[in-house]
Amino acid sequence: MRRERTPQPSPPVQPANPDETLAADLTRGRRRSTKPAPSPSKPSPPETRRRSAPGLVTIPAWTQYPWLIAGFSTRQGGLSTAYAAGGPPEQNLGYTTEDDPATILAARRRLVATLTKSRKPAPDLITIRQCHTGIIQRVNRADLPLTTPDHKAILRGDALYTRDPNLLLGILTADCVPVLVADTRTHAIAAFHAGWRGTLARIVEHGIETLRRDFGSRPGDLIAAIGPSIGACCFAVGPEVRDEFNSQFAYGPQLFSEIDAALTPQIHMDLWEANRRQLLDAGLNPSAITTIGHCTACTRLPDGRRKYFSHRAEKGFTGRMLSLIGTTEN
């Protein structure tokens, strides 16, 4: 199928998030810091000149919660050359077969330090062995470490949740939808990996029910962010996917559109809307949901490079972004 060559109409959801890049975070961090800002005329050491800061998309509506740490990584500003095709190093954060584990670990630590403004102690990063299911795993500080000695995830499933502070829940994606949820009252948090299979398994809807059951979360207190992922502009699917959703969701037909691509009709699916509907069905207020609205398959930087890794657009030879959510002690 000519999936990569499909025409790309405007995404159905307008980007809610202008890029809040690292620069904004660093600016905020410096304002809080007691140390004076470095003089702009002072030359950078060679190492910082060579490496750009980790690319990060933050959620503007969440900056009002000082206890909440969250963000979605981009492809830029990392240490990996595996997928860079001779260009600047990139921020691969998944243990992919083509990349070097030590490089990936170092890149993860850089991103965590950026997101947490190098707070000490650094929060513990928890990831999960993702397998496109509806399995939801609770993590507690008492269960640490939840990694192998070489920093790989131990738990299996596609969602993590906790109420313990100083843990960073991480979801790896390269087209699938990362969904982050926080309870502004209890400070419970959850991170979801929602590809079409996880979405079909209602992983987000069930995850919210789990927060209610385990922590007494009230949907009206929850906020959610749907991260960069493949948009309806680029996500062509087979008729069997549409049939599955139509058989299980009353709103199924609203998630699909037919697009003529080189005279061949294609079915495109809107995973952002599918997950937004699950959040709404779980009781969240529409205004509490942020959809970042960046398509991982077709969003480009001004210089033409890809802003994100895309499994679909790059035929599987690509890195992974890391979506993170955590809370501080207070």
271 interacts with Zn ion by CB under 5 A = no
200 interacts with Zn ion by CB under 5 A = no
Q: Structure tokens of 319?
A: 């890195």
Cβ proximity to Zn ion: between 4 and 214 the closer is: 4
Among 297, 322, 324, 325, binds Zn ion (CB under 5 A): 297
**Angle between helix 101-115 and 22-32 (nearest 10):** 50
Residues making up the chain, counted from first to last: 330
Our CA dihedral for 51, 53, 55, 60, rounded to 10 degrees, sits at: -170
298 interacts with Zn ion by CB under 5 A = yes
Window of 89-97, 194-202, 228-236, 306-314 that interacts with Zn ion by CB under 5 A:
228-236
Residue 95 contacts residue 174 (beta carbons within 8 Å): no
What is the DSSP secondary-structure string of 81-92? -TTSTTSS-E--
Among 134, 231, 319, 326, binds Zn ion (CB under 5 A): 231
The amino acid sitting at 53 is A
H-helix or E-strand containing 109? Answer: helix 101-115
Distance CA 190, CA 208 (A): 8
Cβ proximity to Zn ion: between 169 and 292 the closer is: 292
295 interacts with Zn ion by CB under 5 A = yes
Cβ proximity to Zn ion: between 27 and 264 the closer is: 264
223 interacts with Zn ion by CB under 5 A = no
232 interacts with Zn ion by CB under 5 A = no
Cβ proximity to Zn ion: between 189 and 297 the closer is: 297
54 interacts with Zn ion by CB under 5 A = no
> What are the residues binding Zn ion (CB under 5 A)?
231, 233-234, 295, 297-298
